[in-house]
Amino acid sequence: MKTARFAIVAAAVVLAFSAPSAYATCADAPTETRSRARNDRDAVRDLMSRADQALAQGQAGEACVKYRLVLGLDHDNLAARIGLGEGALIEGHYAAAREHFEAVAAAEPANARAQQGLGLSQLLAGDFARAEPALRQAVAIEPSLWRSWNGLGVIADSRGDWTAADAAFEAAIAAAPSQASIHNNLGLSRLQRGAADRAVEAFDTALRLQPTMLTAAENRRMALATMGQYEAALAGVSESELARTLNNVAVIAARRGDRRVAERLFAAALTASPRYYELAARNRDALTAAR
């Protein structure tokens, strides 16, 4: 039988809050102004408190408006600049985020949050080589920065260094055991190295912590399919996700050599899709051509 090439909707690690936003409230560099009211500490403190609260709720635009007001009162406020960088990460504007963090790092090289922000902005932009030193510097300064450890785990995965990946994810979980994204990424790491059963355990933990985490749910389905548990992989799939999941499970079945299962699931994917599903059709044709 010929070797077939199939396309699957890729499983995903979790690092970012969202896709790039059409708005760039946090992206532009702060306007260079002279501090007008350095002695107005109460106003700065109140604005920072409200900005930090908005940022924690994922309201990047609202937060960054307030951070800019802080910088209008105190242009050297590094915490506000860190906030702008974090907001730009949420908005998906990674180059702008890097510029904000670089400004802080230039003024204060040992600022762990600035180093973490630099590393994450580079990692999310796909520059793993530059991301790693910054993330390592961040955890050397402040070992409790779980996002840095999480990023280091993803980088280690990218080069197949499972020992380093386990160490990084273990440190991330120790720092923030309730963060579902870490457990999802650990599960994907285990799946990549062929430990599907242990991957399911990690995805289960992620979903226990965050039941609505669609990425972990989809990754769990792929792990079950890898183990040949096709019915379990398809159990409870929503109608909106059914065609995609059928295609993905069919691809895994085909790669496992379960041809009849793959043929049935590709056909089901085409039927379940509300419109022509080109990806599943191409995969079905590739399977047929590989006879």
Q: Per-residue pLDDT tens for 149-196?
A: 999 999 999 999 999 999 999 999 999 999 999 999 999 999 999 999
Q: Which two tokens stand for residue 121?
A: 């902005």
Nearest to 133 by CA among 111, 154, 113, 148: 148
Q: Average pLDDT of 13-34?
A: 59
- Hey, which bits of 48-188 come out as E strands? none
Q: Is the pLDDT of residue 3 over 70?
A: no
Compute the chain's Rg from CA coordinates. Answer: 23
**CATH number 3.30.420.240 given to 20-104:** no
Q: What is the pLDDT of residues 253-286, one digit of tens each?
A: 999 999 999 999 999 999 988 888 888 888 888 8
Confidence (pLDDT) at 23: 56
Confidence (pLDDT) at 28: 72
Confidence (pLDDT) at 1: 40
Confidence (pLDDT) at 226: 96
Q: Is the pLDDT of residue 18 over 80?
A: no
Confidence (pLDDT) at 273: 87
Place of tokens 């197949």: 160
Q: What is the pLDDT of residues 215-247, one digit of tens each?
A: 999 999 999 999 999 999 999 999 999 999 999
Average pLDDT, the chain: 89
206 CB neighbour count, 10 Å cutoff: 27
Q: Is 34 or 108 the better-scoring residue by pLDDT?
A: 108
CA atoms within 13 Å, Cβ hemisphere of 202: 26
Domain boundaries, the chain: 20-104, 109-177, 179-227, 235-291
Numbers of helices and strands, H then E, in the chain: 15, 0
Q: Is the pLDDT of residue 129 over 80?
A: yes
Q: Is the pLDDT of residue 22 over 60?
A: no
**CATH architecture under which domain 109-177 falls:** Alpha Horseshoe (1.25)
Q: Average pLDDT of 191-211?
A: 96
Predicted TM-score (pTM) of the model is: 0.87
Q: Is the pLDDT of residue 34 over 60?
A: no
Q: Which two tokens stand for residue 151?
A: 């990023």
Tell me whether domains 20-104 and 109-177 share a fold.
yes
